[in-house]
Amino acid sequence: MISPETRSYLSGTPVLFVLVATLWGGSFPAIEVGLHYFPPLLFAGMRYTAAGAIILGYAVLAGHRWRPAGRDEWLAIGVVGAFLIAGHHAFVYLGEQYVSGAIASIIISLSPVMTAAFAAVVLDERLTPVKVAGFALGLVGVVVVADIDPANALSASAVGVGLVLLATACFALGSVLVRPLRTDLPVTALQGWAMVGGSGALWAVGALRGETVAAVNWTPTAVATLTYLTLFSGVVAFLVYFALLDRVGPTQLNLVGYLEPVVATLVAWALLGELIDSTTALGFVVIFVGFALVKRRAVGELLAGVLPSSESDVDRDADESTAWSSDAGPADD
């Protein structure tokens, strides 16, 4: 039996925060391994068809309203499904054919910075000089991570970095487009429907590319990676994220994305023997500095040990959030 004290500790915000970062960080090397056995878009489609069905089932069993109603709710599902599920993961899975999961996770961490830039263009939000500097630093960090040789700009690694950067752009733009669509649909239902719809798009585009289930090499490793990505990274992590969202708001949860590359790097080293070099590490630091400028209030609250303690604080953060809206969810992979 688990004691009440242990149960209380395990359900604490810091433990759940680290758990989400660990589950999502581990997904990057899991994708890298799984791509040896699955066609990329079919791989992503299988994952999100199953994960979406499970999350929708959870919403029904939990008594949440799970049927969308009205134009805005269907539009929100469409935007999240098209950009944050289909577009984002299509480019991540394609990109990880050329770059490691650790490098992909570092590039994806640019999402909050890029989203601030899209919000300025699409929603006409004010982009202060400090945020401009943060955006510029984020791009510099990606260039450092890419470490592209000008004489061979179309190398495999450069193509991979470009594809993952497109994934980041899809996530950022989708996060911005969904924000004006205020709905009462519970986030579990929205995310579940978006996963199912987005996976349909992944299956369709994969079929156009000639990807078939017959091409899957069903080994124990293949089954293990798909199971991990579906159940642990695709279902458990999202349910824990939803619980954290109610506790701390979306702005603080942006910071999960900066633990994910650390986890991805450690898992890649432990399981695959991969190490990132000093240039890649420097690039990650530069990207994080850019994020710290764009989201300096969230970083300040974290460092001060202050979390929102009232509904108004959470509402303020939800309005400011530019990386992961409460409806869209985080840049998981």
**Apex 25 CA angle, 21 and 28, nearest 5:** 160
**pLDDT given at position 119:** 87
- Return mean pLDDT, the chain: 83
Locus of tokens 């840049």: 331
Q: Which of 57-66, 100-109, 164-173, 290-299 has the lowest mean pLDDT?
A: 290-299
Locus of tokens 């994708």: 31
The residue among 319 and 114 whose pLDDT is bigger is: 114
In the structure, what pLDDT confidence band is assigned to residue 153 with cuts at 50, 70 and 90?
low
Return the percentage of the chain with pLDDT > 90, whole number.
Answer: 45
Could you tell me the CA-to-CA distances from 103 to 44, 108, 153 in Å, in that order?
Answer: 19, 9, 17
Q: How far apart are CA 175 and CA 84, in angstroms?
A: 8
Query: What average pLDDT does the segment 7-29 reach?
Result: 79
Instruction: Tell me the two tokens of residue 156.
Output: 């495999």
pTM for the structure as a whole? 0.83
**HSE-up of residue 101 (Cα within 13 Å, Cβ side):** 27
**pLDDT given at position 76:** 94
pLDDT reading at 1 higher than 70: no
**pLDDT given at position 200:** 97
Query: What average pLDDT does the segment 103-119 reach?
Result: 87
In the structure, what pLDDT confidence band is assigned to residue 197 with cuts at 50, 70 and 90?
very high
**pLDDT given at position 46:** 98
